[in-house]
Amino acid sequence: MSTSPWRVAMASSIGQSHVAAAQPCQDAHFHLEAEDADGRPVMVLAAADGAGSAALAELGAKLACETFARLVETYVGKGGRVAAIERPLVERWITGLVYRIELDAKRSGARVQDYSCTLLAAVIADQSAAFVQIGDGAMVIPAGAGWRHVFWPQHGEFANTTNFVTSERAVPEMDFVRLDEAVQEVAVFTDGIENLVLQKASKTAHAPFFDSIFPPVRKSLVSGVDAELSQALEKYLSSPTINDRTDDDKTLMLASRRRA
């Protein structure tokens, strides 16, 4: 692929509650870039948060992110366009994702529910973008001089409950939208930092956070994923500044095609 117009920083960080319980980080993220039929880049970002009660939550999160991204890559590689993505197609991708999990569960003798996780995904082309969400966490994009969430986090009726890709209601409760516009930046994050970057009372994105976190990405001279910037992001997510406010696993993906 020719030089990517995107600069990307992404990281997952284990929560202190998981450290104390000797559990692994159950968040995951995955990124790839494909080329559409015109040779133009299509950015795919996916993040997932494994259910704390699921025995193979971290594996489920990894499988969900990579499988979804690869299904999009296959679609684009066969001439599919982001501007043509509709809900029925995404529902088939989710079904395919669950089938991949079912195969792994059968091989390992586990239950599908052992892989329970959320899913957030952004698929962005030049003049169109598709967003998919099952569960909590959120995605934020520019809105004029400010920022807005694509979907509000899916929280269940009771505290600390949400939807998972392995649930029977995953497909009907899935959030999907296609925007026929040029999305220049996106932040994808799991619920570990929801309270830090979303204003729950007004249901808005906390603009000062995004105003401060994106400039280093815009200034990056690295095409695609900036490894050094991603390491700095992981360090930030693991810092007392963040850990004093949340003990959950945290994932944050930042992608920009704006120049500083």
Q: Which residues span the domain enclosing 145? A: 7-256
**Taking a C-beta distance cutoff of 8 angstroms, is the pair 131, 150 a contact?**
yes
Name 255's bridge partners.
8, 186
Report the domain count for the chain. Answer: 1
Whether 63 is in a domain gets the answer: yes
Residue 2 lies in a domain: no
Using CB atoms within 10 Å of the CB of residue 34, give its burial: 0 to 12 exposed, 13 to 18 middle, 19+ buried: buried
Given pLDDT bands bounded at 50, 70 and 90, which one contains residue 156?
Answer: low
| Residue 71 forms part of a structural domain | yes
CATH of the domain at 151: 3.60.40.10
Task: Please write the tens of the pLDDT for every residue from 180-191.
Answer: 999 999 999 999
**pLDDT digit string (tens) for 204-229?**
999 999 999 999 999 999 999 999 99
61 part of a folded domain:
yes
For residue 161, tell me if it sits in a domain.
Answer: yes
| pLDDT of the residue at 2 | 58
In this structure, what DSSP letter does residue 117 have? B
Can you list the alpha helix ranges (DSSP code H) found in 109-226? Answer: 194-197, 207-213, 215-219
